[in-house]
A = this chain, B = another copy of it.
């Protein structure tokens, strides 16, 4: 099963700056070969369910390894069975409609 996911990982009980953790998540997802697309409210990835979820777990492990004892992540998970249209295509179609 293919899945399109947005991961927004929030460390709890750390400093106010989030960029070290955002960078670490990006690094983990890149090493997992998931071609992550970082934006202001999270990071978008797509791929095989098991591979994507293993990478999400690795993100938690990597951020805990930085000394963060508590993490709250919001994950958006999109699956469809009718065809392989990606979420990026939805965005492109929306842009076409607006143009």
- 13 additional A-B pairs beyond A22-B91, A37-B40, A64-B79, beta carbons within 8 Å, are A1-B60, A10-B12, A10-B72, A12-B12, A16-B70, A22-B93, A40-B44, A40-B86, A41-B42, A41-B44, A60-B77, A60-B79, A71-B80
Residues of A contacting B: mostly: mixed
- What residue in chain B is nearest A83 (Cβ atoms)? B69
Would you give the shortest CB distance from A18 to chain B, in whole angstroms? 6
Oligomeric state, in number of copies?
4
Residue numbers of A with Cβ under 8 A of B are 1, 4, 6, 8, 10-20, 22-23, 26-27, 37-42, 44, 49, 53, 56-57, 60-61, 64, 69-82, 86-88, 90-91, 93-98
